[in-house]
Amino acid sequence: LFYICTMKQHNIINVINLPERELRLSQFNQEAINQGFGYVVWDGIICIGDNKKGILAAHKQIVKFAKDNNFRSIIIAEDDCRFFANGAWRYFVSKIPEDYDIFFGMIYVADLVENRITGLFSGMTMYCINERFYDFFLSLPESCHVDRELGKYSDQFKFIVCDQFVCEQDGSISDNTKTTCNYRPYLESRKLFGI
């Protein structure tokens, strides 16, 4: 792991990638070139027989790194994150609020009230997590479905979604379900950046 300390944290995405997913990383690299951000690659974690456990562990390793290094926030993405249009990344960064626990670039399923998640949701594709929420995130049960577990606490914390969704998952094979997913129908009623 090499962390680019000379760059502002909000110019870097910490991306989770399984080493055998070379195509996904190559596509993410193209996103970085197009959008103008730096990134650090973190190895995905496989837990045989419990995909959810590996996915959560992969996210937690980054949050723990941020906590251990006293980062005020950190941005995390999965390697199948794709931006809707040029400028989407800059738009996301410009919209990070002052008061939040997690700020999401998009979600698929959720009830929103003025861009605040109000119940269960789906969509950990790209998000910025505030230092004040590190400990709670790291305390999540190790075999939970991370976004569903977080949704149980949406009335206690500020989970905010960008007013225009800036990204989506590319629809390749899910590490969680091991199936090819088409998530586009979930975005039909949402405001998408540049579309």
Q: What percent of the chain has pLDDT over 70?
A: 90
Please tell me which residue, 179 or 18, carries the higher pLDDT value: 18
pLDDT of residue 11: 74
Residues 133-171 pLDDT 10s = 999 999 999 989 999 999 999 999 999 999 999 999 986
Please tell me which residue, 13 or 49, carries the higher pLDDT value: 13
Residues 64-96 pLDDT 10s = 999 999 999 999 999 999 999 999 999 999 999
- pLDDT band, very low/low/confident/very high, at 6 (cuts 50, 70, 90): very low
pTM: predicted TM-score of the whole model, two decimal places? 0.91
Distances (CA, A) of 3 to 38, 78, 80, 132, 154: 10, 17, 21, 22, 31
Among the listed residues 142, 57, 128, the one whose alpha carbon sits nearest the alpha carbon of residue 95:
128
For residue 115, give both structure tokens: 């861009």
Whether the per-residue pLDDT at 1 is higher than 80: the answer is: no
